[in-house]
Chain A
């Protein structure tokens, strides 16, 4: 399977992008899961989703 760059820019709707960022910030600040586990899961998800931001 080839997986080349699909877009020249990852820009999308500004309001939506800001809201997604705020949601992600809120989620990682939840304290029911310890910070190390949270970070391991976050990095694994980022890698799986090809997210480099």
Chain B
């Protein structure tokens, strides 16, 4: 089912329908290769850090509200598992400076998800992050053009 964000991308990309379709395809697959609740936690953290309101309004999993409310305190909260904490740490570092993620953060995720899971996670996170950054830029441009 097409989401409101898919619709947004289709409108922006206009007649570049194959690009829009490929974006929907990789986004859909990102949620298939990684546990959806885990990726949703990371997606929400990215949305908070980048101030992407449209992503904060949606849910791609059955995350409980208490966990979502505690997301900014994940490092000290007992609500989050070792695997979730490793992935959230990696996500924050990925967003701030992807070229400066320390070995310790990468190895912690690899230890929790396995090697293939780690590579799947990084690629899924890349798709989620880039989709959010594209939304931010294109919504901003749209606002400026419409003024």
How many chain A residues touch B (CB < 8 A): the figure is 25
Per-residue CB contact flags for chain B residues 100-116 toward chain A (1 = under 8 Å, else 0) read 11110011001000011
From DSSP, what is the main secondary structure of chain B's interface residues?
helix
Count: A-B pairs, CB below 8 Å: 68
**Set A9, A19, A30, A50: member contacting B99, Cβ < 8 A:** A50
Q: Which residues of A contact B18 (CB under 8 A)?
A: 26
Given A15-B29, A16-B123, A30-B19: A1 and B100 within 8 A (CB)? yes
Given A6-B110, A30-B16: A12 and B116 within 8 A (CB)? yes
Which residues in B have some Cβ–Cβ distance to A below 8 Å?
Answer: 16, 18-19, 22-23, 25-26, 29-30, 32-33, 98-103, 106-107, 110, 115-116, 118-120, 123-124, 127
Which residues in A have some Cβ–Cβ distance to B below 8 Å?
Answer: 1-4, 6-13, 15-17, 19-20, 22-23, 26-27, 30, 48-50
Known: A6-B110, A23-B26, A27-B19. 15 other contacts (CB 8 A): A1-B100, A1-B102, A2-B102, A3-B102, A6-B107, A6-B118, A7-B119, A12-B33, A16-B124, A19-B22, A19-B26, A20-B127, A23-B19, A30-B19, A49-B98
